[in-house]
Amino acid sequence: MSSKLYPLFANVSGRPVLVVGGGGVGERKAASLLESGAVVTVGAPEITPTLRQWAEAGRIRWRQGRFDDDWLDEPWLVIAATGDADLHARIAALAQSRRLWLNVVDDTERSSFHVPAVIDRAPVTVAISSGGHAPMLARLLRERLELLIDPVTGPLATLLGDMRAGIRRKLPDMAARRRFYDRALSGPIQSLLRRGQRALAEAATERLLESFDAPLQGSVILLGAGPGDPGLLTLRGLRALNEADVILYDRLVSREVLALARRDAECVEVAKQAGNHHTTQEQIHALMLQHARAGRRVLRLKGGDPFVFGRGGEELEFLRAHDIPYEVVPGITAALACAAYAGIPLTHRDHAQSVRLVTAHCQGSLDTLDWRALAQERQTLVVYMGTSELAVLREHLLAHGRAASTPFALVENGSRPEQRVVVGTLDGLVKGAEQYAVRSPALLILGEVAGLASSLAWFGRPPLASSAVSPVTALTA
């Protein structure tokens, strides 16, 4: 192909389009044409069961039989997907002489139009073409953009479209309109639409029409970064990382996750370490407030999920009290990630009907726990903790009747390349942690299901078995 393609979006709504070929490819083409409102005819001797259903339901017309020249009398566009090169050559020659736009699937030479790879955020469509040179590359780009283009783009375009005439009337000056749109496209309107609050989004747009030159209103997104593996981040989280002006992150957030942040975002570590609080919770609150009041989009980034032992609740209470708008994006909490990456199902029909998440960060928090309930059988206990509290934990559980033979798994650096899993039984818990010098961040999974780690492990190195300790020595240790 010599010259470059002229991009164009065709309005096929209510217009006849012909698909020659009734196999899987023909079916996919017919489906996307139907979505665009085309009047679809599929011409082929045989068609797929789905196409047949559509024909019976009157959604498409089926011209049963071999291709005939007069099939080309009606349509505006033709797609040939028969796999028969001779037939394709014949259709191409006919289409050329009749000035009909033709796409021959996987045949750049014979096609007069190409069907791009599409990111659908109706009414917004992003189309990518490699001009027939490298369809795989176009597909790869599509996948990347699919992740980056927020689903809220569609509702936002619809809303702005519905209000467009009013906006023009209100702001006849083009420069003013541009300033308005700059604001409208980056502010709270999207955030409201994302929550499904269309009426409030409309009201916010009206308000913005009055005050788009006022100082920017900042906001905070509370984002769960997951346990470390950046692949466990949500798509919404990835987009938030791409849009942030300031990122306040905790020590547990992995470097790989931070690497996904917008290049020019200001990243501030607000490290909190047990017993060594570099930044107090009050200082974190003050930082959020200061940046949000300066009109910035603040990302408060926390390990795991912000609402699981993450003090996310306190931060929202503070933001609400100071009238700072916020959103919450969940993350994969350590319990889910460590269990998954250690091959431990948290519930199992044969072993555990319930899961409890508890934290044992200090003696104080241990004293308030309901040990009788925690020591129950057939439940999985997941303990977020300082590894220093293992001895107290073991002692209390044994004293309240949990069997000394209950399996445990200690997952250190879960989901990260350096992940280690130490397995054993409750009596040997402390010894096992010492034997392998288990360090923070580590998570304890205790219960019958932990015994499955040895057979179901799949990630990183195989579990390390702690040497057996007799219950008697263990109890007195």
What does the binding site for ligand SAH look like in residue numbers (CB under 6 A)?
227-228, 252, 302-305, 308-310, 333-334, 338, 384-385, 411, 413-416, 440-443
> What is the number of H-type helices and E-type strands within the chain?
19, 20
Indicate the residue among 184 and 442 with the shorter CB distance to ligand SAH: 442
Indicate the residue among 187 and 303 with the shorter CB distance to ligand SAH: 303
Contact (Cβ atoms closer than 8 angstroms) between residue 221 and residue 296:
no
Taking the CB of residue 92, how many other CB atoms lie within 10 A of it? 20
The H or E element containing residue 245 is none
Question: Shortest gap between Cβ of 459 and ligand SAH (angstroms)?
Answer: 12
Question: Shortest gap between Cβ of 332 and ligand SAH (angstroms)?
Answer: 8
Report how far Cα 381 is from the mean position of its chain's Cα atoms: 28
* Nearest residue relative to ligand SAH (C-beta): 304
Can you read off the two tokens belonging to residue 201? Answer: 């989004």
Question: Shortest gap between Cβ of 419 and ligand SAH (angstroms)?
Answer: 7
CA-to-CA distance for 188 and 419, rounded, in angstroms?
40
Angle, helices 198-211 vs 174-184, to 10°: value is 140
User: Does residue 170 carry a catalytic annotation?
Assistant: no
The H or E element containing residue 32 is helix 24-35
Question: Shortest gap between Cβ of 447 and ligand SAH (angstroms)?
Answer: 16
Question: Shortest gap between Cβ of 201 and ligand SAH (angstroms)?
Answer: 31
Indicate the residue among 274 and 321 with the shorter CB distance to ligand SAH: 274
DSSP 146: H
Indicate the residue among 202 and 269 with the shorter CB distance to ligand SAH: 269
CA atoms within 13 A on the CB side of 67: 21
Cis peptide before 441 (omega within 30 of 0): yes
- Among 84, 107, 120, 272, the active-site one is 272
CA-to-CA distance for 111 and 77, rounded, in angstroms?
11
User: Does residue 106 carry a catalytic annotation?
Assistant: no
Question: Shortest gap between Cβ of 16 and ligand SAH (angstroms)?
Answer: 56
Residues making up the chain, counted from first to last = 477
Q: Which residues does residue 446 pair with via DSSP β-bridges, in sequence order?
A: 381, 408
CA-to-CA distance for 305 and 310, rounded, in angstroms?
7
Indicate the residue among 210 and 418 with the shorter CB distance to ligand SAH: 418
- Among 229, 245, 250, 305, the active-site one is 250
Q: Which amino acid is at 433?
A: A
Indicate the residue among 21 and 310 with the shorter CB distance to ligand SAH: 310
The set of catalytic residues is 250, 272
